[in-house]
A and B are shown apart, each in its own frame.
Chain A
Amino acid sequence: DAMVIQNPRYQVTQFGKPVTLSCSQTLNHNVMYWYQQKSSQAPKLLFHYYDKDFNNEADTPDNFQSRRPNTSFCFLDIRSPGLGDAAMYLCATSRARTGDGYTFGSGTRLTVV
C-alpha cells in the first residue's frame, strides 16, 4: 500500500547532540510537511516542501532544519536538541495546492535526555 513511513518510531537523543528524523513516501506527492506535537497540544507546522521549494513557518526555531534530496524522502534535522524539543514529530504528504487530502506517518517520538 502507498504510505508515509517514519523512522525510527522512538528516538532518544542527548541534550545538544544533533539528531535526524526521516520520512519516506510512496505516494509521489509533491508536498511534504513536518509537524511538531508536544504533549497535550495540537500538531504545529514547522515547515514544508513543495517539490524542492522549502517553506519555513515564521516561528520555527533556527535549530530545526530540513532536507529533501528527492521526491520520496524528507529529513528533519535538529542541530542542538534541548529538553523543550521533546515531542512527537509527524510527517505528512499531500498533492500540491489542493488541500483536500493529507497522509500522515505514524510519527517519531523524540526524547531528549
Chain B
Amino acid sequence: AQKVTQAQTEISVVEKEDVTLDCVYETRDTTYYLFWYKQPPSGELVFLIRRNSFDEQNEISGRYSWNFQKSTSSFNFTITASQVVDSAVYFCALSETRAGANSKLTFGKGITLSVRP
C-alpha cells in the first residue's frame, strides 16, 4: 500500500529564512505521481506541484523549489526567503497509477509552517 510520511509536524521560521519541508514516500509501483499542496487557514487545497516518477529533475518556481530523489524515496520542498504569506499547512501526496484500477491520492499528515515577521 502507498504511504507518505512527513516527519516534521510544525516549523517556525523568521521571515526571509529558507525552510525545507521533508517528504518520504512508499510505493510498490514504478509509475506514480507526487504532489505538494498548500492549505491556508481558509481551508482550500492549493496545488503547488506535480512530479511523475520518471522525471527526477529538480524544479524551481520563483521562491519554491523541489528536490526529487528516487534513490531515497524523498520529495522535499524548499521555500527560499520565506514570507508571512507562506504560513500554512503543507501536504505532500502520492498517487499511484494502477492498471485496471482508479488512481487514489494519499496524503501525508501535513506540516504546519509559521513564518514570523
Say whether B64 faces chain A, with CB atoms less than 8 Å apart.
no
Q: Which stretch of B15-23, B80-88, B96-104 is in the interface?
A: B96-104
CB-CB < 8 A to A48: which residues of B? 102, 104
Q: List 6 A-B contacts (CB under 8 A).
A: A42-B110, A94-B103, A99-B33, A102-B47, A102-B95, A104-B37
- Taking CB atoms, residues of chain A closer than 8 Å to B106 are 45
| Partner-A contacts on B (CB < 8 A) | 31-33, 35, 37, 42-45, 47, 50, 52, 91, 95-99, 101-110
Q: Which residue of B lies closest to A92 (CB)?
A: B105
Residues of B within 8 A of A42 (CB): 91, 107-110
- Give A47-96 interface residues, CB cut-off 8 Å to B: 48, 50, 55, 88, 90, 92, 94, 96
In contact, A100 and B104 (Cβ under 8 angstroms): no
Contacts of B109 in A (CB 8 A): 41-42
The distance in angstroms between the C-alpha atoms of A101 and B31, with both chains bound, is 14
